[in-house]
Amino acid sequence: MKERLFILSQHLIPHHLLSRLIGCAAQCRAAWFKNRLIGWFAKQYQVDMSEAQVEDLNAYEHFNAFFTRALKEGARPLDNTPGAVLCPADGAISQLGRIEHGRVFQAKGHSYSVTELLGGDSERAAPFMGGDFATVYLSPKDYHRVHMPLAGTLREMIYVPGRLFSVNQTTAENVPELFARNERVVCLFDTERGPMAVVLVGAMIVASIETVWAGLITPPKRELKTVRYDEAARGPVNLEKGAELGRFKLGSTAIVLFGPEQVKWADELGANSPVRMGQLLGQ
């Protein structure tokens, strides 16, 4: 009954209004407010501040600065195995495996369309049919910057409007096509292993998603928006393996897609495996 009520509330809550209000609070610079909020959050979620460049909780100008904090140099060493595909973020594997019949496995009894995930364009999705996916869930205590699994050249970025359901095991098991319904930013790269998609998926109280090349990506109008990055448009954006790609201001999920026969996920990884940015995700 408790689970059913939670899922029902997810459908009734005004997702965007609540998320934007919390986003405003997360930008508040009043010391009395932001220090209490940051202190409470760090204690509640047992955030390890020994890894942060700035360990003093009161030194952050607002909650978002704390939430997207940088880590000390060397805190996330990059796996140097030849041909390594790196994990893009701290968190836990939600699912990983093969894209079958054009669908990505979400949880028991649920999957979603890769075409819908990438914004509804079948030509954009075609290179990933029969390929492989990995879904990484970022919990509140995690480092919330997302990094490049491989070196790549940005080809296209697509903002896809949608809902902002909470992302956790309960919603994954009970909200059909969760990741293809939530607001998201799709980043398409050309890499040495062909096309690679990194999808940053928003969630309840995620105030915004940012990328290093475009900054804040929540348009004033929630409409599908595609931006090309080629010689004829804005010029290429090249990012090295392990370089920062973007960040969540309050976090959610990163999904990585490759084409057929381009990557083999690490044997020891499966659903609920804890992961850290920079570790070996596959080869």
Given the residues 19, 94, 142, 147, select the one marked as catalytic: 147
Element (H, E) at 63: helix 63-67
Closest CA to 126 of 98, 99, 148: 99
Cα 208 versus chain centre, distance: 11
Element (H, E) at 146: strand 145-147
Annotated catalytic, 147?
A: yes
| 3-class DSSP assignment, residue 183 | coil
Cα–Cα distance measured from residue 249 to residue 94, given in angstroms and rounded to the nearest whole number: 20
Given the residues 19, 94, 111, 252, select the one marked as catalytic: 252
Cα–Cα distance measured from residue 147 to residue 189, given in angstroms and rounded to the nearest whole number: 13
Cα 188 versus chain centre, distance: 14
Largest CA distance in the chain: 55
Cα–Cα distance measured from residue 48 to residue 55, given in angstroms and rounded to the nearest whole number: 9
Using CA atoms of 96, 102, 107, 109 in order, give the dihedral in degrees to the nearest 10: -150
Q: By the 8 A CB rule, do 24 and 208 touch? A: no
Annotated catalytic, 9?
A: no
Tokens encoding 201 = 């998926």
Annotated catalytic, 50?
A: no
Given the residues 19, 90, 166, 208, select the one marked as catalytic: 90
Q: By the 8 A CB rule, do 278 and 85 touch? A: no
According to DSSP, residue 207 is labeled: -
Q: By the 8 A CB rule, do 253 and 201 touch? A: yes
Active site residues: 90, 147, 252
